[in-house]
Every structure is written in structure tokens, then in C-alpha cells.
Amino acid sequence: MSAARSRPIRVLVAKPGLDGHDRGAKVVAAALRDAGMEVIYTGLHQTPEMIAQAAIQEDVDVVGLSILSGAHLTLFPRVKALLDAAGRGDILITGGGIIPPEDADALHHQGIGTLFGPGTPTGELVRYIETWAAEQQRS
């Protein structure tokens, strides 16, 4: 946590859709906690509406979506649209899963942050979120 931050970075980790595999999400949640972030893990089978509502209620800085089902082109934009509509376009939406590079590029152009694939060292994700949060503090 930066000396200038009044509270730890708050991250909501969610598993949207029908994908029932959450080992990666739990590993990421633990790594973020170990890095000093506050982590809320919503569990499996969350709808975009449930994720957006939880993000707003928990006043998070970041939403991390773990998607292995192939529905990333639908689920990431839906969560973003719901947060934008609620006036929370300031929340970083990031995540990972099995996402082809061309799909990650398309999502990035829609305002989704960096996406991480299987095998990415958790330290890379921690650094990305910490860097993003530091940039938000400066602006």
C-alpha cells in the first residue's frame, strides 16, 4: 500500500457465467491479499448484474473476472456497461482466462484493462494493479 493511499486497494474477484473452475481465481485472490490488497471473492456462477452490484456495494477499485468458458466477449463488456451506467466507470476491469490475443485487443478497445492468461506469474498482476492505482492517485 502506498503511503499516500488512505486505504488498501480493494479488489473484487469474480467468476461470471457457467464456468465451474475457480482454482485460478482463488490463487489470484490469495496473491492479491498477500500483496496487501483487500479482496472480496464472489464465488462461482455470478451474473454480470451480481458482480456489478457487489463491486458498487463493496466500493472496490478493481474488478477481476476469471473466465474460462469462452464468454469473455459478452461478459467483460456487460460488467463494464453496468458499472458505467451506475456512475462507476472509474473501476478498473481486468482479469484472465483463455482469451485469444485478438479478443483481448477488442476488449481493451472497449475499455477493459490488461487481461492475463494461464501461467502468468501472480506478481505481474499485482504490479499491474499497483501501478494502475498509483496512476489514479496522481490524477
Residues 47 and 40: their CA atoms lie apart, in Å, by 16
Residue 133 CB neighbours (<10 A) = 20
pLDDT at 26 > cutoff 80: yes
Coil/strand/helix, residue 30: helix
Domains along the chain with CATH numbers: 10-138 (3.40.50.280)
pTM score > 0.85 for this model? Answer: yes
Q: Tell me, what amino acid is at 135?
A: E
Reported as a single tens digit per residue, the pLDDT across 73-101 is 999 999 999 999 999 999 999 999 999 99
pLDDT band at 20 (very low <50, low <70, confident <90, very high): confident
Q: What strand order describes the sheet that includes 38-41?
A: 38-41, 10-14, 62-67, 92-97, 115-116
**Beta-ladder partners of 14:** 65
Coil/strand/helix, residue 98: coil
83-90, long-range: CB < 8 A, 24+ apart: 83/52, 83/55, 83/56, 86/52, 86/56, 88/52, 88/55, 88/56, 90/136
